[in-house]
């Protein structure tokens, strides 16, 4: 019971430090390593699947299918090795004394918290897109009456974005929220009438305007829904409003310069710089705390990026202050590493992977079949479904990607759940090489068929 009470206080603590909400406090945890690196200023950018959280209107401007995960690393392969190399690079860059694991968590092995986020964006027809996302926050283990359980909270969301005109879009999100504090057998053992779980639902909405000179403005309203019951009280959902501005400096100069200015064109091709500012307003909760932040992103050769965010209000936020971020964009895969509270000994790490199909191959690959085949097989080794992404076949890649992340998470969780060390666990682990083989064979056959045409 002491651990249950401790967990309840942990939840209240997180809620009080995440803008004073009373119920479903995990919804105030911000997904997206890139967004966190920009000081959580993303409502006016919203150009990846995390738009499902920040501003669903951004989905309408996404022109290719994408899958994103944060704090849930890919399975063993080239992608995970690349991600590991990037964390090793960010360790001295951010001057941290402790290396981050690829699946970051807070606390110790005896009692820890872990936040994961998964989302996907899928455009269809003209000017429309649909998105799916999962927010998942877990703590534990909790020991009670000789048993162990893991409290968790999750939100399952479906989003829709549509362009009203070419430069203006709107979006909506519907989400189901579930909180699990303790199992029913614990309530029975303690002889209490209230349940250790609760659920609710909520809706988000947003608008996004993107001009032709690199300027964008976005606004959203999140978590509009009925209260969620926590123990014997009802907790208000963290109703939040955001409004933000973005200006891409290089796009502005490219759009306003004369067509004969080759220097500006070349600069825009090799360097990109944007600045963003956002106001976040807490509309519910006992202590309403508002926040203004800004951030910048610099990207060179469409490959390497550096980001940094700044807090413009006086309140301190234990999880989000002083963000710094780097990323590597390999076209079919993009990896983002962000650290917050970098002034502390270890800081808080946020690690993100994003995968998308390669729609247009470079000319040197189209002309050289042997090199094309080499890159295909490297993509196959990157992650199950990587070969399909290399071939631009997003729908065949999707089941491989989802299954591989599930398998990777089961392998990771086995270290905290000895009961997984049984025949069922071994069966799940054996599916990983099978996924690599099946996806690799199918991708090579598909490439051979395309070359034969």
pTM: 0.87
Q: Is residue 185 classed as helix, strand or coil in its secondary structure? A: helix
Record the tokens describing residue 356, joined without a space. Answer: 């998308």
Residues 52, 132 contacting (CB under 8 angstroms): yes
Q: Is residue 16 classed as helix, strand or coil in its secondary structure? A: helix
Residues 30, 320 contacting (CB under 8 angstroms): yes
Is the backbone peptide bond immediately before 141 cis, with ω within 30 degrees of 0? yes
Given the structure tokens 């829904």, which residue do they identify?
A: 225
Record the tokens describing residue 301, joined without a space. Answer: 């050769």
**pLDDT tens track, the chain, 453 positions:** 333 333 333 433 344 434 334 688 889 888 999 999 999 999 999 999 999 999 999 999 999 999 999 998 888 889 999 999 898 888 888 888 777 888 888 777 677 888 999 999 999 888 899 999 999 998 878 888 888 888 899 999 999 999 999 899 999 999 999 998 888 888 878 777 777 889 999 999 999 999 988 899 999 999 999 998 877 777 889 999 999 999 998 888 877 776 665 666 666 678 899 999 999 998 886 556 778 999 999 999 889 999 999 988 877 777 788 899 999 999 899 999 999 987 777 788 999 999 999 888 888 888 888 898 999 999 999 999 999 999 988 889 999 998 888 888 777 665 544 444 556 566 767 888 899 999 999 999 987 666 644
Q: Is residue 128 classed as helix, strand or coil in its secondary structure? A: strand
Q: Where are the beta strands (DSSP E) in 28-88?
A: 66-70
pLDDT at 157: 97
Distances (CA, A) of 274 to 58, 268, 295, 338: 17, 12, 9, 18
Where residue 436 falls (left for φ over 0; alpha for ψ -120 to 50; beta otherwise) is alpha
Residues 294, 277 contacting (CB under 8 angstroms): yes
Given the structure tokens 């490219």, which residue do they identify?
A: 254
pLDDT at 21: 42
Record the tokens describing residue 430, joined without a space. Answer: 């054996």
Q: How many residues does the chain have?
A: 453
């Amino acid at each position: 019971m002491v651990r249950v009470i401790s967990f309840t206080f942990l939840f209240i603590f997180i809620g009080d430090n995440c803008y004073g909400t009373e119920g479903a406090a995990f919804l105030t945890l911000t997904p997206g390593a890139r967004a966190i690196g920009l000081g959580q200023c993303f409502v006016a950018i919203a150009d990846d699947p995390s738009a499902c959280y920040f501003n669903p209107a951004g989905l309408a401007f996404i022109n290719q299918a994408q899958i994103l995960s944060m704090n849930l690393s890919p399975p063993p392969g080239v992608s995970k090795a690349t991600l590991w190399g990037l964390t090793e690079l960010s360790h001295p860059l951010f001057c941290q004394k402790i290396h981050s694991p690829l699946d970051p968590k807070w606390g110790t092995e005896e009692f820890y918290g872990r936040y994961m986020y998964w989302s996907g964006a899928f455009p269809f027809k003209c000017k429309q897109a649909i998105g799916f996302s999962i927010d998942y926050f877990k703590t534990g283990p909790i020991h009670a009456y000789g048993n162990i359980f893991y409290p968790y909270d999750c939100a399952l969301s479906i989003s829709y974005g549509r362009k009203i005109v070419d430069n203006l879009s709107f979006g909506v999100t519907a989400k189901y929220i579930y909180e699990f504090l303790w199992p029913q057998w614990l309530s029975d053992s303690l002889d209490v009438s209230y349940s250790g779980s609760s659920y609710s639902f909520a809706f988000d909405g947003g608008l996004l305007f993107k001009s032709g000179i690199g300027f964008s403005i976005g606004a959203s309203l999140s978590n509009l829904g009925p209260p969620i019951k926590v123990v014997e009280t009802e907790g208000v959902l963290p109703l939040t409003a955001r409004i933000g501005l973005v200006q891409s400096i290089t796009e502005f100069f490219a759009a306003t310069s004369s067509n004969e200015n080759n220097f500006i064109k070349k600069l825009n091709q090799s360097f990109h710089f944007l600045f963003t500012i956002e106001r976040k307003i807490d509309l519910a909760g006992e202590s309403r705390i508002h926040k203004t932040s800004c951030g910048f992103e610099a990207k060179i050769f469409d490959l390497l990026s550096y980001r940094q965010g700044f807090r413009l209000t006086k309140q301190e936020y234990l999880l989000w202050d002083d963000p710094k971020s780097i990323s590597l964009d390999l076209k079919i895969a993009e990896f983002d590493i962000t650290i917050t509270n970098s002034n502390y000994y270890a800081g808080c790490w946020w690690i993100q992977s994003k995968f998308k199909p390669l729609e247009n191959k470079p000319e040197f690959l189209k002309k050289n079949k042997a090199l094309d085949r080499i890159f295909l097989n490297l993509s196959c080794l990157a992650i199950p479904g990587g070969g399909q992404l290399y071939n631009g076949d997003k729908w065949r890649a999707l089941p491989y990607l989802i299954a591989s992340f599930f398998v990777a998470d089961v392998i990771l969780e086995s270290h905290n759940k000895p009961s997984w060390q049984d025949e069922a666990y071994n069966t799940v682990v054996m599916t990983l090489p099978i996924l690599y083989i099946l996806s690799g064979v199918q991708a090579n056959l598909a490439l051979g068929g395309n070359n034969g045409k």
